[in-house]
Structure 1
C-alpha cells in the first residue's frame, strides 16, 4: 500500500487494516488504528508506521479513544518465513523479555546486530522497542483488570525496574499507572476487587473481519484430550477450556465461542461491506502473572486470530471450486496450536493414546479446575519413558520408534517447533524421524508451525491457491459437515 491508499483507509475508518499499519498525527502527538472513530486528520499532518512500537519510538503516544495497542497483530508476520517474520513471532512470545536481544538472536541463528538492523529497516523499530511496546500493553491489561499492586505489575509485565515501568507507561499512554488504572472501562473496578482475584484476568482477543467460531470450536471439541481440555455448553455458545505449560508456571484458560457485547465502529455507507471484526472473550488463571503475554499469544495462534480473512477469501473465492465454500463460510480460520510440542505428539499418537499419556506422565495441577486435572507431559518426560520401553508410550516400532525419536528430538533441541522455528528445517527434521508419516508431518507443519500454505502429501492443489492452501484444505474438510444454522455467524 502506498501512503495515499493508507490515508484513504484512515479517512473511511476502514477496520480491515487495524493492526496492518498505524497512523500518527503530528499536531496532537497521538497515534491511532485506521478505524479510529475520531475526526480524520488532515493528510499533511499524518505519518504512517508499520507497528505500534515504531510510532512509540518516534515519540507518539497511544490514542485513548481507539486503543491502538489492542488491535489484532499483522497477518504478515505469521505468513512470512524469513528472519523478520520469525523474529516478530518470537518477540510476541516474550523471548526478549526472558532472554534479551542476544537470546532472540541465538534462536534465529543471527548476530544481535543483524537482527537489530533487519527489524529496524522493515518494521521501524528494533527488538527492544518492539518488546517495550508489548510490555506496555501487558501492563495496561494488568492495571485495568487485576488487583495486583503496581510494583508487582511492573515486574510481571517484564520491566526491569519500577522506574522503567512508570516512565514507559507515561510515555506510551500519557498517564501514570494510577491514572491508567482509574480509567479502566466500565466494569473494571468490580474485577479489581481483591475478593474477585480468583476470577482470573478477563481479556478480549481481537480479530479482524468475519470469524467462523463454530467451525473452530467443532474442531476443538473433536480433538479435546480429557484432563487437559474440555468444551462444554450448547453449540454456538460453547466454552473451551484448557491447561497450559508456560515459561514461569502453568495456566488454565477459558475462551467463549461468541463475542459478548460491543458495537461496530461507524463507517461511511460505501464501506459497510467491510466487516469491522470483533473479539473472543477469554479468561486466564495464571500461577505467575509474568506468563500473561506468552499465554495470550499462544491463544491467538491456536484460534488464528491474527489472520487476514480479506486476503484469504479474495484469493480462494476467485476459484470456481472454492467460491461457494468461501461464500458459505467467510473468514474460516486455520487453527494452530497452543503448545506446538504437545500438538506434535498428539498428531502422532492420536487422541486416545494422548489421554493415557496425560494420566500417566502429565503434571497434575495443584487444584483441579473442573475436569481439567493435568498439564500435558513435557517431551523430556515422554522421551525418557519411551526410551525405557514403558507401556503406553511406544508406537508399533517399539521403544526406539517414532514417539521416542520425536520426543527426544524435541527435548534436545534437534527439532524446534517454537514461534521462531524455520519451517523448512523443522519439516525436514520431522521427515528424518524413523517411522514419521508425511501426512503427520504436514499436520504438524500446518498446526504447530502455523504455516498457512501446506498441501497434504499426494494432493495436487492448484498454485492459484497459494499462499493460503492450508485455508483451502480447511474449507474442503469443513464442507464435509452440513452447515448448521449457527455456523454462519459473521462476528
Structure 2
C-alpha cells in the first residue's frame, strides 16, 4: 500500500485495514486504527506504522477512543512462512515473555541479532518492543476488567518489575495504572474476579460466519475436555486448556454482541466487523495472553475475509458459495499437539485417551473434568500414536505457533502410519496454514486459489453437502470404523 491508499483508508474510516497498519498524528502525539471515529487529520501530519509497537517506539500513545491495541491481528502473519511471520506468531503466543529473545531466536534457528535486525527493518520494532506492546494490552484488559491489585497485574501481564509496568502504561496510554482503571467503561455489571473469570471481547474484522465454526466444534467435541451447549445461533463453546503456567477453562459465545455494523446500506457498504464474547478462568493469570492467542487461532479471528472472498469469489465454482457465506473462516486448533493426536486417532480414540491419561482438574466445571494428556504421557502407546507422541515430546516434530510448516509436514509424513492427508489436516488446523490443498479431494484445488486454498476446501465441502453427497468415512488408527476425525 502506498501513502495515498493509506490516507484514503484513514479519511474514510475503513475498518478493513484495522490491524493491517496504524497511523499516528504528529500534532497530537496519538496513534490510531484506520477506522478511528475522530476527525481525519491533515495528510501532512500523518505517519504510518506496520505495528502498534512501532508507533509506541516512535513516542506515540494509544488513542483512547479507538483503542488501536485491541484490533484484530494482521492476517499477514498467518499467511507468511518467513522468519518475520513465524516470529510474530511466536511473540503473540508469549514466547518472548517466557523465554526471552534468545529463546525466540533458538526456535527460529537464527541468532538473536539477526532476529532483531529483521524485525526492526520490516516492522519498525524489535521483539522486545513487540512483546512490550502486547504486555501493555494484557495489563489494560486486567486493569479494566478485574479488581486484582496492581502489583499482581504487573507480573501477570509479563512485566519484570512494577516500575517497568508503571513506565510502560504511562508511555503507551499517557495514564497511570490507577487512572487507566478508573477510566474503564462501566456496563452495569460487577467487575470480574479471577474466580468469576475474565470477560473478553475477541475482535474480528469484517463478516464472521460463526455457525459453521460452532457446528464443526460441536461435531468434534471430546467429552471431558470440551462441549458445545445451547441452541444453534446462540451456542457456547467451552473447553479446558493446558497452558505454560497452568490450566484454564474458556467459554466463547456464538453470537457477536452487538451485531456487527456496516457503513451505510447497499452492496458497497463496508462491514465493520465485531467480536465474539468470551470468558476465561485461569489458574495462573500469566497465561492470559497465550490463552487469548490460542482462542484467536482456533476461531480464525485474525483472518482477512475481504481478501479471501475477493480471490475465491472470482471463481465461478465458488462465487455462489462465497456470496452465501461471506466471511467463512478456516478454524485452527486451541492446542496444536492435542489436535495432531486427535487427527490421528479420531474422536472416540481421543475420548479413550482422556479417560486413561487425562489430568483431572482441581475443580471440575460441569462436564469439563480433565485436561488433554501431554505428548510425553502418550509416548508409551503403540505406533502410530506412540511415534507421533514421542516426536512431539522430544522436539523432533514441532507444531508451535512459529514452527516451519514445510519441515513439520515432512516430519509428520515420515512417521509410521501417518498419511499425507492426515498431515495436511494437521498443517491446516494445528499450524493455521490458510493455503493447504489436501490430497485426495474429489474436486481439484487449483493454484489460482492461493494463498487461500484452505478456505476454498471448506467451501467445496459445503458444496458437496448441498449436493447430498455421502460423508467421507473415517477410521481410527487401527483401521476399524470409529467416530469422525477432525475435519479441515
Task: Report TM bin, short chain.
Answer: over 0.9
Residues 113 and 213 (structure 1 numbering): CA distance in 2 closer, same or farther, change over 3 Å? Answer: same
User: Which 5+ residue runs of structure 1 have no aligned equivalent?
Assistant: 387-398, 484-491
Does 2:123 match 1:123?
Answer: yes
What is the rounded CA distance, in whole Å, between the counterparts of 2:112 and 2:411 in structure 1? 26
Instruction: Show the counterpart of 2:234.
Output: 237
The alignment of Structure 1 onto Structure 2 pairs a total of residues equal to 465
SS for the counterpart of 1:330 is coil
What is the rounded CA distance, in whole Å, between the counterparts of 2:268 and 2:310 in structure 1? 17
Instruction: Show the counterpart of 1:146.
Output: 146
Instruction: Show the counterpart of 2:223.
Output: 226
1:94-153 alpha-carbon deviations (Å, 9 max, x no partner): 000000000000100000000000001111100000000000000000000111100000
What is the rounded CA distance, in whole Å, between the counterparts of 1:75 and 1:473 in structure 2? 19
Does 2:13 match 1:16?
Answer: no
What is the rounded CA distance, in whole Å, between the counterparts of 1:255 and 1:82 in structure 2? 31
Instruction: Show the counterpart of 2:470.
Output: none
User: Which 5+ residue runs of structure 2 have no aligned equivalent?
Assistant: 468-488
CA contact (8 A) 1:255 1:283 kept: yes
Instruction: Show the counterpart of 2:76.
Output: 76
- Give how far 1:479 is off: 3.3
What is the rounded CA distance, in whole Å, between the counterparts of 1:478 and 1:104 in structure 2? 39
CA contact (8 A) 2:260 2:273 kept: no
1:16-57 alpha-carbon deviations (Å, 9 max, x no partner): 000000000000000000000000000000000000000000
Instruction: Show the counterpart of 1:168.
Output: 168
What is the rounded CA distance, in whole Å, between the counterparts of 1:129 and 1:479 in structure 2? 45
Does 2:314 match 1:330?
Answer: no
1:253-294 alpha-carbon deviations (Å, 9 max, x no partner): 0000001126647x5779961110000000000000000000
Instruction: Show the counterpart of 1:55.
Output: 55
What is the rounded CA distance, in whole Å, between the counterparts of 1:45 and 1:272 in structure 2? 29
What is the rounded CA distance, in whole Å, between the counterparts of 1:292 and 1:216 in structure 2? 23
Runs (4+) off by over 2 Å: 261-265, 267-272, 478-483
- Give how far 1:435 is off: 1.2
When normalised by structure 1's length, the TM-score is 0.93
What is the rounded CA distance, in whole Å, between the counterparts of 1:448 and 1:289 in structure 2? 24
After superposition, where does 1:337-348 map in structure 2 within 5 Å? 337-348=333-344
Does 2:263 match 1:281?
Answer: no
Instruction: Show the counterpart of 1:430.
Output: 412
Instruction: Show the counterpart of 2:390.
Output: 408
After superposition, where does 1:166-315 map in structure 2 within 5 Å? 166-187=166-187, 190-192=190-192, 196-261=193-258, 264=261, 267=263, 273-315=269-311
What is the rounded CA distance, in whole Å, between the counterparts of 1:246 and 1:127 in structure 2? 22
CA contact (8 A) 1:144 1:188 kept: no
When normalised by structure 2's length, the TM-score is 0.93
What is the rounded CA distance, in whole Å, between the counterparts of 1:424 and 1:27 in structure 2? 46
Instruction: Show the counterpart of 2:88.
Output: 88
SS for the counterpart of 1:334 is coil
